[in-house]
Chain A
Amino acid sequence: MKLNQIKYLTLALFTAFLLVSCNDDDDMPDPVDFSGTYLQADQMGRPAVNTVFVSSGSKDQFNTTVPSQQNAAFQPMFESNLTALSPAYANPGDMNALGLDAATFSSVLATDVLNVSLDGKTTFYDGTNVLTGRALADDVITVELLLIFGGEDFSENPGLSDDHVDANDKMFLSTFPYLAAPW
C-alpha cells in the first residue's frame, strides 16, 4: 500500500468510528426541533367575551393580559360596556337571572376563564348546572344574551335575549374527536 492509501484508509476508518460512536441513538429518527420562545398572540376562556365587552382599541391588550390581572385591568370597561349595551341594568338594583348586578357580573366576565367541573356534567348552562364547562351543543350565545338582556327572570327584552339559532348545522359525534367532519 502506498502511504496515501494508508492515510485515506485510516481517515475513513476513523471517520466511520466517529460517526458510529457519536450516534448511539441511531435507531431513533432525526430529532424534531421544538426550540425557541413563543410569545402570546391570542387567548380565550368564555365565548364572545373579548368581542362583546372589550372596547375596540383594547382587544389586543386584552389578549395579552394574563387572566389573574384581567379583572383589575378591565372590569370598569366591562361594566360600562355592559350597561351601555343592555337596558336590563338601567335601574339601581337591577340584576340578571344569576342574581348578579352589573358590577358583579362584569367582574365575573372580566377574568376570562372557563370553569370546568371534574365531578360531573359539563355545560355552560342547562337550566340546572351553571358554568361547569362548555359542551359542543351548548347554546352559549343565547345563554349570554339572556344574562345580558333578559333581566332577573329572563323575561326582559325578549327580542334581544335569544338569536333563535339553537343548534349547530351538523350533528356532533358521540366519540372522539366529537366535532363533525368539515364541509
Chain B
Amino acid sequence: MKPLHVKLSIALMLLASIVFVAADHIDAPAVQGGASDITDFYAFQGSNTDNIVFVANVQGLLSPGETSNASFDENILVEFNIDSDGDNVEDYVIQAIPRDGQMYFFGPTAPTSLGLNSMVDEQAMKGSVGITPYGTPAVVATQNGLSMFAGPRDDPFFFDFAQYSAILGGTATSFNDPGSDTFAGTNVMSIVVEVPKSLIGGSGTVNTWVESKRKQ
C-alpha cells in the first residue's frame, strides 16, 4: 500500500491534469505543457489605432518559481497567420523564433509555403528584441514599423475552470457567484508584436490564427 502522501500527490496530479485545461492551455496530448503548447491568442487594435497587436502565449500555468526558470525553445517557431480574402488560407504570416536571448521577427510577408510546414523567411526579417528576463522591466523594440516583445507575463486569461470541470464531472450543477479565477497568480511566456494595418491588408475583416511549429 502506498503511503498517504504518495496517494495524495497522485490525486493532486490527476486533479491538476483535469483542472488545468482551458482557453487552449494544455489542449491536446502531443503538445500539453511543453514549449510548443499555445495557451492563448489575442488580436486587437493598438493604442495607435493604425496598428493591430498580436499576442501568442505559450507554456501556461507557470508559478512564479517556475517562471524564473522558463525559456523559449529555439526549436519552436511561432507563426501568426492572416487570411485577408476570406478563404481561411494564410495570405500573410508573421514569424517569431528565439536565438541566443533574442526573439527575431519576420514579416508580415506572403508565406513561402502554405499549411503545416514552414521555413523561416529570412528575407523578411524585420528586427529582434532581447527576451525580457524574469523580474526585470519589459524590454521592447521598434524596428521597421513593428513593436516587439518576448518574455514572461501574467496570464491574461481568466475563467473558473475548476467549477466548469466540476459541472462537467457531475459534482456541481452551476457556477458560483462570485467565481474563482483558476488562472489567478500564474504566468505565461508571451510574444507580442504590433504591426501597421497597412501591412496586413489595410481594411476590412481578416481571419487570423496562431501556430507553433517544431524544427524537424
- B is bound to A: yes
Using a CB–CB distance below 8 Å, which chain A residues touch chain B? Answer: 32-45, 47-51, 59-60, 62-64, 66-68, 111-123, 132-136, 139, 141, 159-160, 162-170, 172, 174-183
Say which size band chain B's interface belongs to. Answer: 35 or more
Q: A162-B175, A163-B159, A164-B175 are in contact. Are A38 and B215 (CB under 8 A)?
A: yes
Contact status B104-A32, CB under 8 Å: yes
Which B residues are CB-close (under 8 A) to A67?
A: 83, 88-89, 207, 209
Which B residues are CB-close (under 8 A) to A117?
A: 204-205
Within B61-90, the residues touching A (CB, 8 Å) are 62-64, 67, 76-77, 83, 87-89
Q: Which of B140, B156, B209 contacts A172 (CB 8 A)?
A: B156
Q: Which of B64, B192, B216 contacts A39 (CB 8 A)?
A: B216
A13 vs B100: C-alpha distance in the bound complex, in angstroms? 35
In the assembled complex, 11 residue pairs joining A and B whose CB atoms fall closer than 8 Å, in A order, are A66-B89, A67-B89, A111-B88, A115-B207, A116-B44, A134-B43, A139-B158, A163-B175, A165-B158, A176-B46, A179-B153
Which A residues are CB-close (under 8 A) to B7?
A: none
Q: Which of A36, A132, A139 contacts B205 (CB 8 A)?
A: A132
Which A residues are CB-close (under 8 A) to B185?
A: 169, 183
Chain B residue with the shortest CB-CB distance to A158? B174
Q: For the complex formed, measure the closest distance between the CB of B128 and the CB atoms of chain A, giving whole angstroms.
A: 9
Q: Which of A35, A60, A163 contacts B30 (CB 8 A)?
A: A60
Contact status B38-A43, CB under 8 Å: yes
A39 vs B113: C-alpha distance in the bound complex, in angstroms? 12
Contact status B43-A133, CB under 8 Å: yes
Q: A34-B97, A41-B213, A42-B36 are in contact. Are A169 and B153 (CB under 8 A)?
A: no
Q: For the complex formed, measure the closest distance between the CB of A47 and the CB atoms of chain B, giving whole angstroms.
A: 5
Taking chain A's interface residues, is the majority helix, strand, or loop, or is none over half, making it mixed?
loop
Contact status A63-B42, CB under 8 Å: no
A136 vs B55: C-alpha distance in the bound complex, in angstroms? 9
Contact status A163-B160, CB under 8 Å: yes
Which A residues are CB-close (under 8 A) to B29?
A: 59-60
Contact status B184-A169, CB under 8 Å: yes
A168 vs B42: C-alpha distance in the bound complex, in angstroms? 14
Contact status B97-A40, CB under 8 Å: no
Contact status A159-B175, CB under 8 Å: yes
Contact status B207-A44, CB under 8 Å: no
Q: Which of B156, B186, B209 contacts A43 (CB 8 A)?
A: B209
A2 vs B118: C-alpha distance in the bound complex, in angstroms? 59
Contact status A50-B27, CB under 8 Å: yes
Q: For the complex formed, measure the closest distance between the CB of B39 and the CB atoms of chain A, giving whole angstroms.
A: 8
Which A residues are CB-close (under 8 A) to B212?
A: 40-43
Which B residues are CB-close (under 8 A) to A167?
A: 158
Which B residues are CB-close (under 8 A) to A64?
A: 116
Task: Mark contacts of B1-39 with chain A using CB atoms, 8 A cut-off: 1 yes-contact digit, 0 otherwise.
Answer: 000000000000000000001111101111100001110
Contact status B30-A183, CB under 8 Å: no
Q: Which of B28, B207, B216 contacts A63 (CB 8 A)?
A: B28
Contact status B181-A114, CB under 8 Å: no
A141 vs B162: C-alpha distance in the bound complex, in angstroms? 13
A101 vs B62: C-alpha distance in the bound complex, in angstroms? 38
Contact status B116-A135, CB under 8 Å: no
Which B residues are CB-close (under 8 A) to A66?
A: 88-89, 114-116
Q: Which of B41, B149, B184, B205 contacts A134 (CB 8 A)?
A: B41
Q: A38-B117, A118-B52 are in contact. Are A176 and B44 (CB under 8 A)?
A: no
Contact status B173-A176, CB under 8 Å: no
Q: A39-B116, A42-B27 are in contact. Are A165 and B179 (CB under 8 A)?
A: yes
Contact status A63-B43, CB under 8 Å: no
A102 vs B207: C-alpha distance in the bound complex, in angstroms? 22
